[in-house]
Amino acid sequence: SWWEGGAVGQITQCQCPFLSFFRRRKAGILPSLEDLLFYSIAEGQERIPAHKFITALKATGLRTGDPRLKECMDMLKVTLKSTSDGVMLDRHLFKKCVQSNIVLLTQAFRKKFVIPDFQPFASHIDTLYEKVADYIPQLAKFSPDLWAVSLCTVDGQRHTVGDTKVPFCLQSCVKPLKYAIAVHDHGTEYVHQFIGKEPSGLRFNKLFLNEDGKDYNHQLQHDCSLLQSENGFSICLKFYHNVLNFLKKMAGNEYVGFSNATFQSERESGDRNFAIGYYLKEKKCFPTGTDMTAVLDLYFQLCSIEVTCESASVMAATLANGGFCPITGERVLSPEAVRDTLSLMHSCGMYDFSGQFAFHVGLPAKSGVAGGILLVVPNVMGIMCWSPSLDKLGNSVRGIQFCTDLVSLFNFHNYDNLRHFTKKHDPRREGGDQRYTFGPLDYESLQKELALKDTVWTKVSPTECNEDSSTTVVYRMENVGDGN
């Protein structure tokens, strides 16, 4: 690709057919982003196969099913049907297909995403690639051999490996998500009238309150009941659908379902949860008028919400992206809700392993007894690991190992020094160099940067390229430096 620094110099040899973009136009007009993208993929050819464009697109980490590329993909299908061979695209047809989404495509091909060299990073993830929880009988039916990892970056780059399309229940992984919804709807101050912020140092289902008569934090079994009651919905079904709607938005409308079998199993084997509920009711922890039995039913329902690794990774990426869903661009949660959620996930999201996890992995995460670990690398990506084999603390054995290996290889630990810690890879840097902060990524800014950064576009004689001087203005890039 001549967009990349080392290859730009090839154009200084006056390969003018690839720079003759401007027929019957005034001198000095910059080339369009669509033309630049076409010639970067065409590599000297006048037409390109559609599959070559798709392959190059996937190499950036984007998917053809990305909602942001819908117009491009729809137009590509229509355009190919109108061509004689149904395969090849010339420059004009290519421009017609990509123009609706050209800014996103340009960012992708210019490596302006958070992980610029995505394929090597994905290969590392692949190389990083077992006691089923039996206290909820339905969960014991999952094979301990199932193992999946999915990731989604804040720019919507995706990678999956393993059993990533198998649905499983969120279980406790839903706790930080509904906490985030509560804070989004009601604010931090109101929510924390009912729950605390400290790690308890006790088992997640222990009958115990802090000295203020509150539960320690939202990750504990107690607080899930409080969060459901404090939202003030008199009908729990209404709140359930509200949470479900939020989760679907966080997942970019990817799979979010419900396991009625797990719900019934939770309800029938939920004696401990009922004991906790009555204990909280005795201590007057619930807001006035709370129907404790209905709230417990709602708790069981929310734990029984199903996701896949792929959809849950988008949820995690929404948290990593400050509340914006990366693949839809929709604002789902407030920055305050995301900040507070990640803070508590970091300190108490991994049951009795939270301190160890914070020390060794250094990232916000939440585990569940179905074998999921929802991991957030703030401002970079969200990851969902899933394997039903659990350790004695209720965390996925493979998931814990993967998270540990991840931060051993990449400098994702919150306290890794990004400038001086040279023993780890930083996938946010391109080619091992410091990743630059880019300016506005709109059409005009990108167009000027690609045409003018470290280069000078000059008008040259059309005769040098055997072009008709009455219809062509030819540009040549000179003084190409080492920039991108």
Per-residue model confidence (pLDDT) at position 23: 46
Mean pLDDT of 58-74: 96
Give the span between the Cα atoms of 298 and 100, in whole angstroms.
43
Per DSSP, the chain holds a count of helices (H) and strands (E) of: 19, 13
Q: How far apart are CA 359 and CA 339, in angstroms?
A: 19
242 and 289 part of one domain: yes
Place of tokens 């077992």: 130
Residue reference for tokens 């949660």:
333
Hey, what's the torsion of the CAs at 61, 64, 68, 69, to 10 degrees?
Answer: 120
Greater model confidence, 202 or 286: 286
91 and 143 share a domain?
Answer: no
Bridge-partner residues for 374, per DSSP?
Answer: 366, 384
Residue 14 has pLDDT above 70, yes or no: no
Helix (H) or strand (E) holding 302: helix 292-303
- 29 and 167 share one domain: no
Is residue 76, in this structure, part of any structural domain at all?
A: yes
pTM assigned to the model: 0.80
Instruction: Place 44 in a pLDDT band, splitting at 50, 70 and 90.
Output: confident
- Between CA 227 and CA 183 the distance in angstroms is 10
- Report yes or no on 92 lying in a domain: yes
Question: Within this chain, do residues 75 and 143 fall inside the same structural domain, yes or no?
Answer: no
Same domain, 307 and 404: yes
Residue 296's pLDDT is what?
87
Residue ending a domain, among 409, 429, 449, is 409
Q: Which two tokens stand for residue 59?
A: 């190499």
Residue of 446, 330, 386, 314 whose CA lies nearest to 40: 446
Query: Residue 91 falls within a domain, yes or no?
Result: yes
Q: How far is CA 209 from CA 212, 279, 289, in A?
A: 8, 10, 21
Structure-token pair, residue 15: 């390969």
Residues 160 and 74 placed together within one structural domain of the fold: no
Distances (CA, A) of 97 to 89, 101, 105, 222: 9, 9, 11, 53
pLDDT tens string 320-339: 999 999 999 999 999 999 99
Assign residue 144 the CATH number of its domain: 3.40.710.10
Quick check: is 286 in a domain? yes
Q: How confident is the model at residue 11 (pLDDT cuts 50, 70, 90)?
A: very low
3-state secondary structure of 472: strand
Instruction: Decide the pairing of beta strands 148-153 and 381-386.
Output: antiparallel
What does the alpha-carbon distance between residue 245 and residue 251 come to, in Å, rounded to a whole number? 10
Q: Are residues 242 and 272 in the same domain?
A: yes
Q: How far apart are CA 368 and CA 444, in angstroms?
A: 46
Task: Judge if 203 and 339 occupy the same domain.
Answer: yes
Clarify whether residues 393 and 465 are in a common domain. no
Whether the pLDDT of residue 241 is over 90: the answer is no
d(CA 97, CA 83): 13
DSSP one-letter code for 31: P
Does residue 419 belong to any structural domain of this protein? no
Among 306, 317, 294, 322, which residue's Cα sits nearest to residue 231? 294
Q: Is residue 79 part of a domain?
A: yes
272 and 158 assigned to the same domain: yes
Computed from CA positions of residues 390, 394, 399, 405, in that sequence, does the dihedral angle turn out positive or negative? negative
**Radius of gyration of the chain measured on its C-alpha atoms:** 26
Q: Is residue 423 part of a domain?
A: no
What region does 410 belong to: left with phi over 0, alpha with psi -120 to 50, or beta?
Answer: beta
The tokens describing 292, both together, are 């404790």
Per-residue model confidence as pLDDT tens digits over 424-471: 899 998 764 444 444 556 777 776 666 655 443 444 444 444 444 434
DSSP assignment of 376-395: EETTTEEEEEE-SBB-TTS-
What is the pLDDT, as a whole number, of residue 431? Answer: 62
Q: Which residues of 367-383 are buried (b: 16+ CB within 10 A; e: fewer)?
A: bbbbbbbbbbbbebbbb
Number of domains in the chain: 2
For residue 261, which amino acid is it? A
Average pLDDT over residues 235-257: 88
Q: Taken in order 336, 152, 114, 104, is the CA torsion positive or negative?
A: negative
What lies within 8 Å, CB to CB, of 276 at 6+ separation is: 205, 207, 221, 222, 225
The amino acid at residue 82 is: S
Q: What is the pLDDT of residue 206?
A: 55
Q: What is the CATH number of the domain that holds 468?
A: 1.10.238.210
Assess whether 79 and 130 both reside in one domain: no
Give the closest residue to 342 by CA, choosing from 112, 183, 232: 183
Task: Please indicate, yes or no, if residue 200 is contained in any of the structural domains.
Answer: yes
**Whether 70 and 134 share a structural domain:** no
Within 45-141, residue ranges assigned H as helices are: 50-59, 70-82, 91-98, 102-109, 118-128
Q: Which domain holds residue 376?
A: 120-409
Mean of the per-residue pLDDT values for the chain? 80
What pLDDT is recorded for position 420?
72
